[in-house]
Every structure is written in structure tokens, then in C-alpha cells.
Structure 1
Amino acid sequence: MLAYRQHPAQRPLDDPPPIWHEGATCLRDVGAASGVSAAADAVPIVVAPSLINRWQVLDLAPGKSFVRALAAEGFRPLIVDWGTPGPAERDLDAAGCVERLARALDYVVATRGRPIPVLGYCMGGTLTVALAAIRPQSVSALAALAAPWDFHADRTGQGLLVSVGPALAEMARAAGELPIDLIQTLFYSLDPWLVVNKFLRFAAMDMTSDAARDFVLLEDWLNDGAPLPGQVAHDCLIGWYGDNLTGKGLWMVGGQPVRPRAIATPALVVIPGSDRIVPPLSAAGLVGQDGLPNARRLDLPLGHIGMMVGSSAAKRCWRPVVDWLRDRHLGHMAATSVQDASSRAQ
């Protein structure tokens, strides 16, 4: 632990500039940071991470930035920075998060003039499924990466949540937020020895190595989470984990139940098979009989965080996701170019 605390490594990337704000939330233009925001054919894509751990895991360092890999492929990633809850988030619930995403999407679509793809990671994936449900005319493609949906499909490791979840939910509603220390305790309860073992491995590393640097950057990210707004925490602990409203098709957003089988948007559902945070069976609730009808399923031999920043993330996860998005939009981009050329000729 002392070696970790004394290590000089810091995230070397500047935060991309914000282009839209609401409360503590903003959209950050990764394309601007990568020099592609001005490209006429750069396709905007809204990328939504979880509200718990911050967005930087998708933009951790050179060579370990999923969103900059998207930018290198001709997309203009606009990543959602949920920020730290303030007065504007005091009464925000999970449905309100989706509606806030919808207003961000409306801004981008109004600027772009046509539907755009959206991508969500972890809890962000759950929210973007609902986003596609309430804004079907604005979402051209949906990618859900390690997104929990059927919370009762696999209850492995949920014993603590079942026992203390109601008390934590009521505490969060009363206090206005669920502190990050309590959230981290819930994560650590999934495998208490995981923390011990990873620091033992770190202690044996060469502290000047890339591996040690990457460990420190990732651990800094893990320890810099934000508290959950109280109503969001209540929805997650009671509505999702407790009552499985999402898996039952009873979660209400914008006055309508979110039911994946009613979402016709082309979709990609990515399921990491070694995920201890989102059980694969939970994420698989988005495919199958009651799942997204136009979805492709991609199973990966990776973990929840490894799929984004692990040594094989770029090859096994980023590449197929980017290829799927390009396949969905290259034809559209070409058709649009022909149409624009025809309009100019007239």
C-alpha cells in the first residue's frame, strides 16, 4: 500500500472539453481532444459510463483509451461525465438519469441533423437501453457493454446486497446520497481476497515498469468514485437488485415501461464471461426471447474492467465493437455523402 501511495504515476491525458451541461453532468468532446471534432464525416457517438466509477476508465492513458480508439476510427465520441452529485441531483432518480441523457442526445442530434449511435458501459449500458426506448427516432445503433439487466438471473455474490440493501437504500434517501466508501465495501464483498492479492502482485513488480504504472492509474480510478444520488441508489438497490424491475419489464422511464423486445434499434450486447461485478447471465437478459430483437451477442473471455483496459482489451473488445459500429454507419455515411452531393448539384 505504501508503494502504491508513493508511486509518482498520474493520468497523463487532459480531460476533453465539455460541450453540454446540466447540473453536475456534462458531455465531453473526445473528438476535440483527438482532432476529429471538425471532420464533416465524423459520426458523433454518445458514450455513457456508470454513475459510480468515473468515466476516465474509458480514457485512462495513451494506448488504454477506448474512446480515443473510437476517435481514431472516424467517430466523434462524446463521453458523459456524471460529475459529483450536487443540489441539482438531490431528487434525481434512475429514470431521471435517462431523461438527462435524452436531453444531451437531443442536443447532439439537433446539431448533427440525424440519428446517432449510443454506447453504454456497465450501469451506463442499462441507462442507454432505456434511452433507446424513449428516443427511438434519435438512436441509430445501441451498444451495451457489460450492462446489467436481469438482476435475478444469477444471484451469486448478492447475499450482502439482499441483507443490507434496504437499510442502505433508506439511508441514501435520507442523506441524499450513498457514500462511495459504502459502495466500495459492496464491491469488495464480492471477493475480499481480490484486493489483498492484487496488492501483493503489485508489491512484486518493478516500480518503474509499465505494469506498475498501469496498476497505479487503474487503482487511482477505482478510488476516485462518486457518491450515488440518494434516489438513484434506492432505485438500484431496491428497484433493480431487489425487485428486478428491469428484468421483469416494469422499470418506468418517461411514463412507459422499458422492455427490450420493443426496441427495434440495431444493437450489440457485449458480455464478458469473467465478470464478477455484472454476472454474465444478468447481461444476457438483453438478448434471447425477451431481449433486444435486432441484437448481436458478443461473448468475451474477459472481466468487467479488463474488457476496457486489460492487455487484450483492444484486440478482443475494442476492435469488434468498433467494427460493428463502422458496419452500421459506413453505408449510412456513404449514402449521406451521395445525397449531399446531389443536393449541392441541384
Structure 2
Amino acid sequence: MKSSPTPAHSALAQRVAAPQHGPRPLPLFLSILWRETEGSPELRRLAFQGLRKYQNAVRPAPPPSPAVFATAGSAKLLRYGTENGRAPVVFIPSLINPPQVLDLSEGRSMLRHMAAAGHDAYLVDWGHPSAKDASLGLNHHVTQRLLPMLGSLPRPPILVGYCLGGSLALGAAAVARVAAVATLAAPWQFDGFPDDDRELIASLWHGAKATSERLGYVPMEVLQSGFWAMDPARTIRKYAAFAEMEPGSQAERAFLAVEDWANGGPPLTFAAGRELFETFYGANVTGRSEWRIDGTKIDLAALRCPTFSVRSATDRIVPANAAPDLSDGFTLQLGHVGMIVGSRAAELVWTPLSLWLSTHGG
């Protein structure tokens, strides 16, 4: 007779199990792998070894979850810091992929670093949209999700937005009272993207729009396929490199954490996807100051709070030319994800950002 699993056994199973047989979508990944390694049997062998290693690897337990401070619809505001009499600092991730990139592990967590530095830090978790959220556009993510949660704070916050979260942070700063706003690798000037990338994204949306409209959401796999298409060779090379990483090494753990994050996450609502692809990428409404939230045109020149932008000259996802033109900030040479969780992120991004936050009341 088989015995029932004990709670301890169940916890261990959750700890060691891979989150999915990824990468997602796996058939597309395999197609890219085969194409990109056609002339290199050794690269193909290593890439397949890296893929199998990724799928079978033991995952460490994630860091403990912080307390929920406020909610709005499916979104939650998670608190990492404590009351200190200064402005709360709210970190806003992209709607694409989960928020965990800002709290990836005990040793690679911008949020825990900021809390340890004395900031009353919070993280927005956008949650999983329901069927009734199909009409929730990017502007509504600001007015119906973000602003109600910000309203629960004891004083006007400083907003820090990463990637598309930076675009939403700037929109919120234009229609609500905030102490300051900072962006990290945020897209704003969409005509700053290479023409080839904008054409690729337009083609991707053309192929996915009808199905997404019927579903009421844009599947995460659609977005992931777009990221892979921007640099397919790198997508395969990193798995080949992973095959040769020392088991249990910090590099191996970092790869697993980042790839699990990149292969996870809820879908976009259909309205948010349409707005992103058609009016942001397609029409550059943000860069032309024509994006509207609750009837207000979002004009960065009209912001009346301190602003700060971190951009990267080597970012393949959001090139430096696409970043917002704000009053303060700097350009570095780290990748889109590397600037948040890479080995030099604390030195080159977390610490200077923390100093800027302290200077502006956070």
C-alpha cells in the first residue's frame, strides 16, 4: 500500500519541480534552436543539453512573500519596507512577465535592497486578469488599478517604473499627486525603436489580433515569441552556455531564476495589447504627447515633480533612443534584465537610484 505524501514531502516536491516544461512556447523555441544551430553540431548539442538541464533542474524555494498592503481588482500592492515618515516608494513592473524580476531571490532583489537601505518600498503585482477585464486598457490600468492603490498610502509616493511599468508610472504622475517619478528601461519615444523591430512587432500583432480578440486576452506566448524573434541567436546561445555552468553555482541559480521569470506571467488584456501594439508602437502616442488618461494628455514637459531616467545603450528590448526625456538620469551599458538583476545591478543601478530617492524625500 502506498502511503499518502506528508506535508513535508509535498513542500519538497514543490521546491524541486520545474515550473513548466518550458521555455514557452516550447515548439517555437525548438524550431529556433534547430534553425540557429544548422551549421554548428556542437552548438546544437550544447543547446539541447542546456534545455534538458533547465527543464530538470532543482529550483530553490522563492523568498518569502511580503504583506499585501492594498488591492484593486486583480492587482495587489505588496509592502517590503516600514513607515519612516518619508515618501513611500512604489515600484511598478511591466504588465509583461511577473513582477518577481524586482524580487528575484534573496540575493538578487531590488525591493529587498531598497527596504534594507531604509526606503518604505512597495511593489505592484498586477495579478491575473479575468474574463471581464478584456476592455481594460493601459490607461485603465492606471486609473482603475494603480491610482486606487496609491490612494491608500499615507502620503504622495515616489513612483519607480520598470519597462512598460515606467510608461504607466509617467502616466500616473501626470494625473495624480506624486513626490517624484523614476523610470528604468522604460519605452516612451516609440519612434526610437529600430524600424525592423517595429515592423516585426506589427507583423506579430497582425497575426495574433483576431485570436486574441476572441479570447479577450493576449497570451504570454505571443509576447515571448516577439522577444525571441528580436535576437534568436542569443536566445539559443544562452542555453548552450547554461549547459556548461557549474552545478549549484551562482550563475546557474541566476539563469534558472531569470528564465523562469521570463517564461512565466499572465496574459495581457486584449485592450491593453491593442493599445500597446497599435497606439504605442504603431502611432507613438506617448512620444507625441497624445496618450490620454482620463481625458488628460500625457505631456512629460508638463510634469511638476522631479524626474529620473535610467536607460541602456546595450538594451535590445528598449533601446536608449526610446527612453523618455526626463530632467535627470544616466545611460549605462547593461542589458534590459541585467540592469535589474545582473551581477553589477546593485553597483550601477540600485545604489544610485537609492541615493536619488533619498535626495527627493523617499
2:70–2:76 contact (8 Å) kept in structure 1: yes
1:282 is aligned to 2:317: no
User: What letter corresponds to residue 140 of structure 2 in structure 1?
Assistant: G
TM-score normalised over the length of structure 2: 0.82
The verdict on how the C-alpha distance between 1:96 and 1:54 changes in structure 2, with shifts beyond 3 A counting, is: same
Whole-Å separation in 2 of the counterparts to 1:92 and 1:169? 16
Gaps of 5+ in 2: 1-50
* 1:143-189, Cα deviation, whole Å (9 max, x unpaired): 11111001112324232112232443343233210001111001100
Q: Which residue of the other structure, out of 191, 197, 200, is the alignment partner of 2:237?
A: 197
1:104 is aligned to 2:149: yes
1:10–1:217 contact (8 Å) kept in structure 2: no
Of stretches 296-305 and 81-90 in structure 1, the one that deviates more from structure 2 is 81-90
Which residue is 1:309 aligned to? 341
* Pairing of 1:1-346 with structure 2 (within 5 A): 1-31=51-81, 37=82, 39-41=83-85, 43-99=87-143, 100-108=145-153, 112=154, 114-135=155-176, 138-155=177-194, 156-283=196-323, 286-287=324-325, 292=326, 295-329=327-361
Pairwise CA distance, 1:195: 1.5
User: What letter corresponds to residue 46 of structure 1 in structure 2?
Assistant: V
Pairwise CA distance, 1:46: 1.2
SS class of match (2:89): strand
User: What letter corresponds to residue 304 of structure 1 in structure 2?
Assistant: H
1:11–1:217 contact (8 Å) kept in structure 2: no
Q: Identity of counterpart residues, as a percentage?
A: 35
Whole-Å separation in 1 of the counterparts to 2:244 and 2:103? 27
TM-score normalised over the length of structure 1: 0.86
* 1:47-106, Cα deviation, whole Å (9 max, x unpaired): 110011111000011221001111011112110001111135222101001112111111
Whole-Å separation in 1 of the counterparts to 2:138 and 2:191? 19
SS class of match (1:10): coil
Of stretches 306-315 and 14-23 in structure 1, the one that deviates more from structure 2 is 14-23
SS class of match (2:181): strand
User: What letter corresponds to residue 183 of structure 1 in structure 2?
Assistant: L
1:173–1:234 contact (8 Å) kept in structure 2: no
* 1:308-334, Cα deviation, whole Å (9 max, x unpaired): 00010000011111111111117xxxx
* 1:203-254, Cα deviation, whole Å (9 max, x unpaired): 0111121111111111111111221000000000101011111111111101
